């Protein structure tokens, strides 16, 4: 089945198209086999969330946009799932908030780094970082901690969708402000984040962009008020409550 063959009125249309993008990502050497497992885990949580953006996730997306607009050196970290699911949306968000894009893989291979960088360029990225690998995240073994010295290593704010918990904690120890997009509110990465967005990356990235466009002319004081008013614990609690509440719903 291809993405175009899924009938638009299928009740799980968005989910099936998303799944197909990941399959294509694996075929193109962009997404790893472990990425398929991560996708399956994400789908289960998205199903329980009703495959929609919760009001709390929308609030988090607005706080993320404000953080990004206030940042000196924001970097959007891209792995194989993100590259397969939202390449064009990632490039657009990076352009709107003036962020760098860096490929950052849990299972780093030169081939996959290059394939993802090429894929992002095909979707409009001008500069893609990550290939230099001349910086490190302290506290992680070499392959897991390799980043660019003028990219993630130098960033003040990092967007890390679907990030592994160890790396999210290590970035936190480096003092980075972390915006994590992850469908599982119980996972370590969103629990480490300054701004956890519990939403599917396919909905969350364009939503952060929409908020960033809306806030483009806001003053620093207004942006800081949005950041200060955001409560990460409340966002995680609201997502968990939605999942627990929906688990035994009939509809």
Asked if residue 189 binds ligand ATP (CB under 6 A), the reply is: yes
Pair 245, 49: CB distance under 8 Å:
no
Cα distance between residue 217 and residue 220, in whole Å:
9
Pick one of 31, 32, 39, 177: the residue that binds ligand ATP (CB under 6 A). Answer: 39
Q: Site mask, ligand ATP, residues 50-89, x = CB under 6 A?
A: -------------------------------x---x----
CB 216 → ligand ATP: shortest distance, Å? 26
CB 207 → ligand ATP: shortest distance, Å? 12
What count of other Cβ atoms lies within 10 Å of the Cβ of residue 106?
17
Structure tokens at 123: 């979707």
Q: Which helix (H) or strand (E) holds 183?
A: none
Coil vs helix vs strand at 106: coil
Site for ligand ATP in 136-165 (CB under 6 A): 162, 164-165
Q: Which stretch binds ligand ATP (CB under 6 A): 68-76, 107-115, 170-178, 181-189?
A: 181-189
Asked if residue 121 binds ligand ATP (CB under 6 A), the reply is: no
E strand residue ranges, the chain: 74-78, 100-103, 135-136, 146-147, 157-161, 177-181, 195-197
Q: Which residues bind ligand ATP (CB under 6 A)?
A: 38-39, 41-42, 45, 81, 85, 162, 164-165, 181-184, 187-189, 200-201
């Amino acid at each position: 089945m291809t993405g175009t063959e899924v009938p638009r009125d299928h009740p799980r249309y968005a989910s099936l198209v998303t799944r197909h993008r990941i399959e294509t990502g694996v075929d193109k050497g962009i997404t790893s086999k472990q990425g398929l497992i991560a996708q399956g885990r994400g789908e289960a949580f998205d199903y329980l969330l009703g495959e929609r953006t919760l009001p709390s996730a929308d609030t988090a997306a607005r706080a993320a946009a404000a953080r990004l607009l206030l940042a000196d050196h924001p970097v959007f970290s891209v792995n194989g799932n993100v590259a397969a699911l939202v390449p064009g949306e990632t490039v657009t968000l990076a352009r709107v908030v003036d962020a760098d894009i860096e490929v950052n893989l849990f299972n780093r291979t030169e081939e996959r780094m290059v394939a993802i960088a090429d894929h992002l360029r095909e979707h409009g990225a001008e500069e893609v970082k990550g290939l230099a690998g001349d910086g490190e995240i302290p506290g992680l073994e070499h392959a897991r901690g390799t980043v660019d010295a003028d990219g993630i290593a130098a960033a003040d704010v990092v967007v890390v969708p679907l990030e592994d918990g160890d790396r999210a904690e290590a970035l936190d120890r480096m003092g980075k402000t972390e915006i994590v997009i992850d469908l599982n509110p119980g996972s370590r990465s969103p629990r480490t984040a300054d701004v956890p967005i519990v939403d599917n990356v396919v909905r969350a990235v364009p939503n952060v962009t929409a908020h960033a466009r809306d806030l483009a002319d806001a003053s620093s004081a207004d942006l800081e008020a949005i950041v200060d008013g955001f409560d990460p614990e409340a966002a995680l609690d609201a997502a968990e409550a939605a999942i627990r509440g929906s688990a035994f719903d009939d509809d």
